[in-house]
Structure 1
Amino acid sequence: MASGGRRVLVVGGGIAGLGAAQRLGCHSAVRYLRVLEATNRAGGRIRSERCFGGVVELGAHWIHGPSQDNPVFQLAAEFGLLGEKELSEENQQVETGGHVGLPSVSYTSSGASVSLELVAEMASLFYGLIDQTREFLQAAETPVASVGEYLKMKIGQQVTNWTKDEDTKKLRLAVLNTFFNVECCVSGTHSMDLVALSPFGEYTVLPGLDCTFSGGYQGLTDRIMASLPMDAMVFNKPVKTIHWNGSFQESAFPGETFPVLVECEDGALLPAHHVVITVPLGFLKEHQDTFFEPPLPAKKAEAIRKIGFGTNNKVFLEFEEPFWEPDCQFIQVVWEDTSPLQDISLSLQDTWFKKLIGFLVLPTFKSVHVLCGFIAGLESEFMETLSDEEVLQSLTQVLRRVTGNPQLPVPKSILRSHWHSAPYTCGSYSYVAVGSTGDDIDLLAQPLPTDATDDDQFQILFAGEATHRAFYSTTHGALLSGWREADRLIHLWDSQAQQPKPRL
């Protein structure tokens, strides 16, 4: 080891990068630690905004599976960021199976209410089939390649046994179609046909009823950031190229050589012994060809291409007065002319809003009334190209249609996320796409170089939600991956420190 200690750079200031830096900053082997964040804020895909007289989440929304095995829950509890209900034993023991709760009210596109009994029946069918898809994990072969095809095959078999009249059948299929759209939001994909069936069961659901942070998710990343060494965070510092497996010298360190040199967009050249990459998979997909010099090994490059990465956006609408009932929590929207068993390709321009799953009613801030709509896939990406005014008009029309109230007032204001066009994110989160497996996630997580000698080990390490085989797409997966890579380095340094010195 270099006599002066190690220089470590972390690229990306999301929860994976912050988690890695927090662990590394405490180790005596580290002489220099910097987190290079491309934007002017930390948190990455955790993004809480003060708006509508309260805090809303443009990014991560819930702690998924808030229980003892979830490090995000544990940290949030430790920092005092959760309420009594969220911390209760009872809350931690709820088994949701990872499924979204039922709506409070369900409207059709022609303004009728769907009976919640019918919605519950279709939810039971849909989620029962989703649970079946997890059983193909160890199977030698699968009947079809994707989760979507499997669901459609099974639903097709069910439909033949339905004895209902045609209108009821159509309505049932339309409700099922909404559940497909919900699952696209959960998986961060355009279509469940893109999600691989065989590895689907590897995603692990933790117990606990999903909960939110009343003061905003960013309270968590702010607390982690506050515990980092002084000067560790560097903002507005996008990285251009990571030169690795070299022998770089820097005038500030005479006589020392470094295996990695990080070249920033502003021309800065930063030498390092180790670099932890925590940028989103979407960014790697766009930039891997220029981001690494020499290029990544073919297998790792291929894994980056194969793993899925989609978009899930939110639209917040503020109303003067609520048009929903006081105890309403989620308004489901069902498009009557849709069915999971029919692929109708219409222009995004005319139909993008049909991918919207409905609206979550946010807890009232003061006297402000806010709905949060969710939409995934290509429709979500198309929505990013529209102006606020266009989105507001379209969604006002949707709400007037489904409530049957043509006089429903236009929302007072709108706020929305743009994760696909965010240049350092390029989407929302990862999924295991058809053609890829959990092995690709492990390949992505493998440090470089793969054939290094002891002195050159772990030049580049990879963290982030897309590198966690069981918890991809979650904040707890991201945090655990940051800790994993920090521990990898700490283990290396500790073992090096214990090696007997050569006798002169």
Structure 2
Amino acid sequence: MGSRKISFNLADATPHICIVGAGISGLRSADILLQQGFQVTMLEGRDRIGGRHATGNRHPIRDLAIATNTPLHHWNSKQNIYTSSGELLLDEKASELSTLLWDIIEEAFEYSKKNEKSIPECASLYDYVAVRVKEKLPGQVGDQKLILSMSEMWGAYVGHPITRQSLRFAWMEECCGGEELFIETTYKAILDRIAELPLEKADIRLEERVVKVQTPRDRDAGKISVTTEKGEHLLFDEVLMTTPLGWLKQHKDVAFAPPLPPRICSAIDAISVGHLEKVYITFPLAFWTDDQADDFAGYTNWLSPEYAPETNPRCWPQEIWNLASFSPENRRPTILFYLYGECSNYIINLVHGKCSEEHYSLLDAFFRPYYSLLPNFSSYDENCKPKAILSTEWQKDEMSGYGSYCNFQVGMKEADEDVKAIRKGCPERRLWFAGEHTAPFEELGTAVGAYMSGEALAQRMLEMYLTR
């Protein structure tokens, strides 16, 4: 599009666009459309803009972070790994096994990309790792078991166990590889930049839940009617749905009239929604660092722990990111646990609806067997007692679609075509879809993907108006 601006015929009304959802994708779409002179109304079910925030590892959000002086953290390559018995692996061994595992996963991406449709639908990423580990470490049964246990932490990237990750479509998760970047502070400055024009020129209506979108069967058959939970009926020229995939799963059969095309419905059903959750545990000080925060491992893994049978009888592995390793002005005495699958479901149901004291007590009891193995821990030291514990509850959040982000599980037949089907939307009915689940393949399931999907959809809409 460049800097070319659309000129509307003065005899016609300026097109009025409805964007359902004021997350990153919706705000980015609004920004572009407003620049081109469209009238934009945003309907957001929450009492705030911004939607779901997550870290991304590619250019648009990184560039916005740099532009807004938002500090980014580059995790070091050190990794602490505790075995199922609670023994800490030597640094050399941990580095060797971790490097080998990621080499195998990168190989799996390439294998998936090259062989995609010839790979059985039932094959998982774990299956590939298991075969390659035996080939690369013949006879080394102990190390083979360790790497397979380490591979379970892949679930912290996609929200489901590695045994459920489709090998056929592993290439669509390739964004999870490479260098990890983390926002050291908050997304506020980045969000403020994205939302600047929408806040100035769009009609943003908070706490407005959409319950019905009634579209014409073709572009020349009148306006689109959007009904809110409050019973208001609003008319628009185009409707852009930036609601989470999980919301579409819950509402696709009742929220659209006429019904969505079968191909889009089947795509929404086929793509999975992850069960990723986070638990932040903050201490009076970072007792585990010995005042050498930069040298402490960025990651720590507890593999299939067998030493917490009362709180974790299923031996769910645990992983933390060390927020005390941030730059001096932003470092915090906090460890961030990433949970997924059955473990995240268990934790959320354990604490949902509990008072703050019980919430703290239950989570501290669950995670103490792991943080108590960190260096310098002492049960008699008040600095080793959590000061605060915060947990997400995406699986209980209707606005998040009762989950986190899209992923591609064993059994999927044509995940790439499913994404394309939703991404295409129903332009003939003036109904469009954007969000992390419609992003470019290399950024599915990320905040960057949400941003890029909103941008791409707005550009498509502009192109359509240019060619009319």
* TM-score normalised by the chain length of structure 2: 0.83
Over residues 52-72 of structure 1, what are the superposed CA-to-partner deviations in whole Å (9 max), with x where a residue is unaligned? xxxxxxxx13x303xxxx222
- Of the three residues 220, 233, 253, the one matched with 2:190 is 220
Q: Which amino acid in structure 2 is aligned with residue 264 of structure 1?
A: T
Alpha carbons of structure 1 residues 156 and 347: separation in structure 2 relative to 1, 3 Å: farther
2:208 aligned with 1:201: no
**What corresponds to 2:363 in structure 1?**
391
Structure 1 residue 464 displacement after superposition:
0.5
Query: Partners in 2 of 1:265 and 1:23 — Cα distance?
Result: 28
Query: Partners in 1 of 2:455 and 2:330 — Cα distance?
Result: 39
Task: Name the SS of the counterpart of 2:398 in structure 1.
Answer: coil
Query: Partners in 2 of 1:337 and 1:77 — Cα distance?
Result: 40
Q: Quick check: 1:359–1:373 contact (8 Å CA) kept in 2? A: yes
2:461 aligned with 1:461: no
Task: Name the SS of the counterpart of 2:114 in structure 1.
Answer: coil
Alpha carbons of structure 1 residues 212 and 102: separation in structure 2 relative to 1, 3 Å: closer
Structure 1 residue 271 displacement after superposition:
1.0
Within 5 Å, which residues of 2 pair with 1:462-501?
Answer: 462-468=433-439, 469-496=441-468
Within 5 Å, which residues of 2 pair with 1:368-447?
Answer: 369-387=333-351, 388-389=359-360, 390-400=362-372, 405-407=378-380, 409-425=384-400, 426-434=402-410, 435=412, 436-447=414-425
Q: Which amino acid in structure 1 is aligned with residue 29 of structure 2?
A: A
Q: Quick check: 2:27–2:194 contact (8 Å CA) kept in 1? A: yes
Q: Quick check: 1:33–1:232 contact (8 Å CA) kept in 2? A: yes
2:298 aligned with 1:330: yes
**What corresponds to 2:281 in structure 1?**
317
Query: Partners in 1 of 2:166 and 2:304 — Cα distance?
Result: 28
Task: Name the SS of the counterpart of 2:396 in structure 1.
Answer: coil
Structure 1 residue 413 displacement after superposition:
0.9
2:342 aligned with 1:354: no
Task: Name the SS of the counterpart of 1:177 in structure 2.
Answer: helix
**What corresponds to 1:243 in structure 2?**
214
Query: Partners in 1 of 2:317 and 2:212 — Cα distance?
Result: 37
Over residues 38-64 of structure 1, what are the superposed CA-to-partner deviations in whole Å (9 max), with x where a residue is unaligned? 101111111xxxxxxxxxxxxx13x30
Structure 1 residue 330 displacement after superposition:
2.8
Query: Partners in 2 of 1:336 and 1:488 — Cα distance?
Result: 47
Alpha carbons of structure 1 residues 367 and 26: separation in structure 2 relative to 1, 3 Å: closer
2:159 aligned with 1:189: yes
Q: Which amino acid in structure 1 is aligned with residue 320 of structure 2?
A: G
Q: Quick check: 1:109–1:333 contact (8 Å CA) kept in 2? A: no
Alpha carbons of structure 1 residues 437 and 241: separation in structure 2 relative to 1, 3 Å: same
Per residue, is there more helix in 1 or in 2? 2
**What corresponds to 1:49 in structure 2?**
none
Structure 1 residue runs without a partner (length 5+): 47-59, 92-99, 249-255, 339-345, 450-456, 497-504
- Of the three residues 77, 82, 107, the one matched with 2:66 is 77
Q: Tell me how many residue pairs correspond in the alignment.
A: 433
Structure 1 residue 405 displacement after superposition:
4.6
Query: Partners in 1 of 2:177 and 2:149 — Cα distance?
Result: 27
Structure 1 residue 329 displacement after superposition:
4.0
Q: Quick check: 1:16–1:480 contact (8 Å CA) kept in 2? A: yes
* TM-score normalised by the chain length of structure 1: 0.78
Query: Partners in 2 of 1:127 and 1:406 — Cα distance?
Result: 36
**What is the aligned-residue RMSD (CA, Å)?**
3.1
Query: Partners in 1 of 2:443 and 2:331 — Cα distance?
Result: 37
**What corresponds to 1:25 in structure 2?**
34
Task: Name the SS of the counterpart of 2:277 in structure 1.
Answer: strand
| More divergent stretch after superposition (105-114 vs 308-317) | 105-114
Q: Quick check: 1:360–1:373 contact (8 Å CA) kept in 2? A: no
Q: Quick check: 2:34–2:40 contact (8 Å CA) kept in 1? A: yes
- Of the three residues 48, 51, 54, the one matched with 1:44 is 51
Q: What percent of counterpart residues are identical?
A: 22
Q: Quick check: 1:246–1:259 contact (8 Å CA) kept in 2? A: no
Structure 1 residue 424 displacement after superposition:
1.1
- Of the three residues 273, 283, 286, the one matched with 2:247 is 283
Query: Partners in 2 of 1:278 and 1:111 — Cα distance?
Result: 44
Q: Quick check: 1:316–1:373 contact (8 Å CA) kept in 2? A: yes
Query: Partners in 2 of 1:141 and 1:230 — Cα distance?
Result: 50
Q: Quick check: 2:274–2:403 contact (8 Å CA) kept in 1? A: yes
Alpha carbons of structure 1 residues 358 and 205: separation in structure 2 relative to 1, 3 Å: closer
Query: Partners in 1 of 2:288 and 2:272 — Cα distance?
Result: 37
Task: Name the SS of the counterpart of 2:226 in structure 1.
Answer: strand
Q: Quick check: 1:107–1:331 contact (8 Å CA) kept in 2? A: no
Task: Name the SS of the counterpart of 1:227 in structure 2.
Answer: helix
**What corresponds to 2:81 in structure 1?**
106
| More divergent stretch after superposition (15-24 vs 239-248) | 239-248
Query: Partners in 2 of 1:292 and 1:322 — Cα distance?
Result: 51
Alpha carbons of structure 1 residues 247 and 430: separation in structure 2 relative to 1, 3 Å: closer
- Of the three residues 149, 157, 162, the one matched with 1:177 is 149
Alpha carbons of structure 1 residues 157 and 418: separation in structure 2 relative to 1, 3 Å: same
Alpha carbons of structure 1 residues 281 and 415: separation in structure 2 relative to 1, 3 Å: same
Structure 1 residue 284 displacement after superposition:
1.1
Query: Partners in 1 of 2:207 and 2:368 — Cα distance?
Result: 37
Within 5 Å, which residues of 2 pair with 1:54-65?
Answer: 60-61=54-55, 63-65=56-58
Alpha carbons of structure 1 residues 333 and 489: separation in structure 2 relative to 1, 3 Å: closer
Query: Partners in 1 of 2:310 and 2:149 — Cα distance?
Result: 17
Structure 2 residue runs without a partner (length 5+): 1-8, 352-358
Q: Quick check: 1:315–1:417 contact (8 Å CA) kept in 2? A: yes
Alpha carbons of structure 1 residues 353 and 242: separation in structure 2 relative to 1, 3 Å: farther
Q: Which amino acid in structure 1 is aligned with residue 338 of structure 2?
A: F
Query: Partners in 2 of 1:348 and 1:493 — Cα distance?
Result: 62
Task: Name the SS of the counterpart of 2:167 in structure 1.
Answer: coil
Query: Partners in 2 of 1:74 and 1:207 — Cα distance?
Result: 19
Alpha carbons of structure 1 residues 411 and 108: separation in structure 2 relative to 1, 3 Å: farther
Over residues 191-227 of structure 1, what are the superposed CA-to-partner deviations in whole Å (9 max), with x where a residue is unaligned? 1222221232244549984433344123211222122
Alpha carbons of structure 1 residues 308 and 101: separation in structure 2 relative to 1, 3 Å: farther
Q: Which amino acid in structure 2 is aligned with residue 355 of structure 1?
A: P
Over residues 248-267 of structure 1, what are the superposed CA-to-partner deviations in whole Å (9 max), with x where a residue is unaligned? 9xxxxxxx973411111111
Structure 1 residue 11 displacement after superposition:
0.7
